[in-house]
Chains A and B, each alone.
Chain A
Amino acid sequence: METILTVNHLTKKFGYLTAVKDLSFTIEKGNVYGILGPNGSGKSTTLGIILNVVNRTSGDFSWFDGNTSTHEALKKVGAIIERPNFYPYMTAIQNLKLVCKIKEVPETKIQEKLELVGLWDRRDSKFKTYSLGMKQRLAIASALLNDPEILILDEPTNGLDPQGIHQIREIIKTIAGQGTTILLASHLLDEVEKVCSHVVILRKGENLYSGPVDSMLASHGFFELRCQQMDQLKSLLEKNASFGKIENFNGTLTAYLKEEMDAMTLNKMLFEKGIVLSHLVKRKESLEEQFLTLTKNN
């Protein structure tokens, strides 16, 4: 697979504080990556380093095949960092024309991208008159002007209202659907869960996990069960070697699997033992639960 970004043992210190510690990961073409981590875990710093605005303390990173200088590579990248930064006194069109000049791409895409984010009607309004949601959408349009190999988004829905969040997510999904590689940094886990196939999890600048979302925890999921003979059910499951931890919470039994088992097998087995279930759900841990488990254990 084609590699877009390789990060090797990257470290950044701000005085005594180590914001990023010995971080390594690679980004392959075609996947949607999420960088997860609580506030202050080094997400933005990492992105700042690969985007040429923060100086690294040690380690290195290379874009694409490693033969292009960072600023040349960035012309093939679309990135939005935290707040959208544009010239407030210039209109959307003027701002995008400037970006075209910097990225050395023709101005022909401006209309297409502004229509994609729904700002074509407001193209001649000054940037300072835009709402935050519109500013964020303009930033996305600007990042897409060069049809980038990879789109980097740092907390793209931060500070937006539900409508704005929804609009941005829809745009991200559309772009991901077109096969663009995306790197999305966020602390909103459901956001990452909805769009990402791979994750990099950071805590205090350290890499806890990087790889596909599915294999993040060696977990086979869990059952949520309800029936009339709860105590009987519990003791039965505790004897079964397939189950690990079993919790009773608000009348629902949660049984964690140690090995693969499907719902049908369990239902059949319990029925044969005379237990009739009124509720049976097999679930995998949500990203949030997996994330909390990961960050807690380490």
Chain B
Amino acid sequence: MLRLLQIEFIKLWNNRASKVLIIAYFVLLTSIALIAAIKFDIGPVQFHLADQGIFNFPYIWHFNTFVTALFKLFLAIVIVSMMSNEYSNKTIKQNLIDGLSKKEFILSKVLTVVSFALISTVFVFVVSMILGLAYSDYNELSIIFSDLEFLPAFFFKLIGFFSFCLFLGILVKRSAFALGFLILWTILEQVVFGLMGWKVMSWDAARMVKDFFPLQSMSNLIKEPFTRLSAVQNIGQQIGEDMKFDYHVYWYEFLIVIVWTAIFIYLSYALLKKRDL
């Protein structure tokens, strides 16, 4: 297993573009701390974002995992290209000839993806912990360690998304087209949802079906955290809007994402096995 990771590491780390993107990604993960520095000072209106409670435990777990998950696109580029470059350089052929089995080849990619997700999760945990300890209004241990389910949610969300990228890389074989396909798919999910709700079934039923779509199920894992902020809640109450949303992570949401992950990895393997190179 270590050997497979090392193989992938050599391939990635010696590629300048991948290296820059990976470093940029982790710098961005850290830079979420900079939000703390956002301060508006316009005469009577003084606004310091860090004072608005976004760094309060346990809300910070939700907020940080949601925001950092947006940066996953950087790694998506790396992952799609690490897969499709093997095709365009024909190195996949050479790897197999040199004695890597097709299973090992896929496994080395999957292990890399899992490592990316794991390192990101640890990163987010550490950054959030530091930020929280610095700015949070509540520092009781029981509060700090509540709502931690957002971390596994983050982890599985990344793994799911990255396996989708892996699969697209293998399917399309060209990184630019694979990324295009990813964007197309995002739009497609919404279009299908719209069509279903409009013509086929009720909007509620359509919404339920949509929750099973791969990208939608991944985004369901961590719902948007902004309406949970007390400031936003206050505004909502003033304009008479009921802002009761359900932010929790449910087991079946995990399950859907894990099933999709398994499907994507299996399909990648099946595709590789079936194809003549």
A-to-B contact residues, CB < 8 Å: 14, 48, 51-55, 69-75, 77, 79, 81, 83, 85-90, 94, 97-99, 101-104, 142
Contact = CB atoms under 8 A, between A and B. Distances in A.
A54 B6 CA distance: 26
Nearest to A19: B276
Interface stretch (B7-15, B216-224, B244-252): B7-15
Which one of B16, B101, B274 has the greatest number of beta carbons of chain A within 10 Å?
B101
B199 interface: no
B98 interface: yes
Contacts of A81: 93-94, 97
B10 A94 contact: yes
Instruction: Classify the interface of chain B: helix, strand, loop or mixed.
Output: helix
A75 B274 CA distance: 22
A102 B101 CA distance: 10
A81 B93 CA distance: 9
A48 B277 contact: yes
B115 interface: no
Interface in B92-147: 93-102, 104
A101 B7 contact: yes
B90 interface: yes
B99 A75 contact: yes
Contact of B97 (A74, A88, A89, A98): A74
Interface residues of B, number: 26
B91 A51 contact: no
A213 B104 CA distance: 40
A77 B271 CA distance: 26
Contacts of A14: 276
B97 A90 contact: no
Nearest to A101: B7
5 shortest A-B CB distances, which residue pairs? A75-B99, A71-B101, A74-B99, A85-B94, A85-B90
Contacts of A90: 10, 14-15
A15 to B, nearest CB: 12
Contacts of B46: none
28 contacts: A48-B277, A52-B96, A53-B93, A53-B96, A53-B97, A54-B276, A54-B277, A55-B273, A71-B101, A72-B99, A74-B96, A74-B97, A74-B98, A77-B99, A79-B97, A81-B93, A81-B94, A81-B97, A85-B89, A85-B90, A87-B15, A90-B10, A98-B7, A101-B7, A101-B10, A102-B100, A104-B3, A142-B98
Interface in B214-268: none
Contacts of B3: 101, 104
A89 B14 contact: yes
B7 A102 contact: yes
B119 to A, nearest CB: 21
A86 B99 contact: no
Contacts of B96: 51-53, 71, 74
Given A54-B276, A54-B277, A87 B98 contact: no
Nearest to A76: B99
A253 B6 CA distance: 68
A53 to B, nearest CB: 4
Given A54-B276, A98-B10, A102-B7, A85 B91 contact: yes
A148 to B, nearest CB: 10
A53 B99 contact: no
Contacts of B7: 98, 101-102
Interface in B61-104: 89-91, 93-102, 104
Contacts of B273: 55
A75 B98 CA distance: 6
